[in-house]
Amino acid sequence: MSTTTANRQRAATLDIDRPGSHRQHEVLRLLPTPLLIFVLVFLGVLVLTPVLYIFLASVNSDIGVANGEFWPSTVTFENYSKIWTSVGLATGLTNSVLVAGATAVVSAAMSISTAFVLVRYSFRGRLTILRGLLALQSVPGTLMVLPVFVLFSSASTYLGIQVIGTQWGLFVTYLTFAMPFSTWVMVTYLRGLPKELEEAARIDGASHLGVLFRIILPLSWPGIVVSGIFAFLLGWNDVLFASVMTRPESQTAAVALQIFGASQEGGAIPYYGQMMAAALVCAAPVVILYLIFQRYLVGGLTAGGVK
């Protein structure tokens, strides 16, 4: 009888220790199942209620929104067709996709190579660079607007290069702030990758670039996606630098929304429906981006998914 009980306890212990087992999830769960369901439902309602209100307001009339209607009395999708002319959203979205997309791609490509050198090689100034990456994250963007504007104005005056008002000037600005964060994300991720794979590749005769492109790069896609998405969001959501560094033909979607919202102040009834519709259209690319790369985001945020 005691032997049977011991075998059962041993089997239960092995089942708990097995990675990914149902028993292991039950042991690691902090809340009981009913309370966990209640918390998840509450958080879901808390997050989705404002989104639902924005959508309902976008298909409602301006008078209905002004009267405080949650459910629209008359449903119309005219607001989604008017925003392309009244808000100037087509030009803004095009500029945002080009600038933020280029920032994400270049920042992710440069951060993986920079992080590889900082993590795998020892040289003078390495710790200073790593500490500098952290220090740059604490500098508020408002302190950098004037220096960046003066620097780019000087380039136009002394070098004859037009930077302010161009898409590539805004791209350089975003890349300056995205690179430190993306590099630090990749440094954290690469520290979790086993060095034995690189050592085996070097024994087989792989060069430094061969190790980077054949070993590190295939294993680092989750971290690369995370750093790229955060760099994309930096350019997509920015209003401060985009409002200073752009012209009407190069302004981003965030600036277009800001200008449209400011133009409604002091009017009889603001165009609530068009504002809500434009906000949803601007948020849609980010949501789609998360849905496409969500499986990479989980592995990238855990910093080292290979053991």
SS (H, E, C) 131-147: HHHHHHHCCCHHHCHHH
Quote the CA–CA distance of 297 and 292 in Å, as a whole number: 10
Task: Report which of 193, 224, 180, 215 is spatially closest to residue 119, judged by C-alpha positions.
Answer: 193
This prediction's pTM: 0.79
AA letter at 158: Y
Tell the burial category of 137 from Cβ atoms under 10 Å away from its Cβ (0-12, 13-18, 19+). Answer: exposed
CB proximity list for 172: less than 8 A, separation 6 or greater: 163
Note the pLDDT tens digit of each residue in 63-81: 888 888 888 888 888 889 8
The pLDDT score that the predictor gives to residue 299 is 60
Tell the burial category of 10 from Cβ atoms under 10 Å away from its Cβ (0-12, 13-18, 19+). Answer: exposed
The pLDDT score that the predictor gives to residue 107 is 93
Q: Are 227 and 304 in contact (CB under 8 A)?
A: no
CB proximity list for 97: less than 8 A, separation 6 or greater: 285
The pLDDT score that the predictor gives to residue 106 is 94
Quote the CA–CA distance of 241 and 158 in Å, as a whole number: 22
Instruction: Say how many C-beta atoms besides its own lie within 10 A of residue 114's C-beta.
Output: 19
The pLDDT score that the predictor gives to residue 99 is 94
Counting as low any pLDDT under 70, the low residues of the chain are 1-31, 265-268, 298-307
Task: Report which of 100, 12, 7 is spatially closest to residue 286, judged by C-alpha positions.
Answer: 100
Note the pLDDT tens digit of each residue in 118-173: 888 888 888 888 888 888 777 888 888 888 888 888 887 877 788 888 888 899 99
The values of phi and psi at residue 250, to 5°, are -120, 10
Quote the CA–CA distance of 152 and 169 in Å, as a whole number: 8
Indicate the length of the chain as a whole number.
Answer: 307
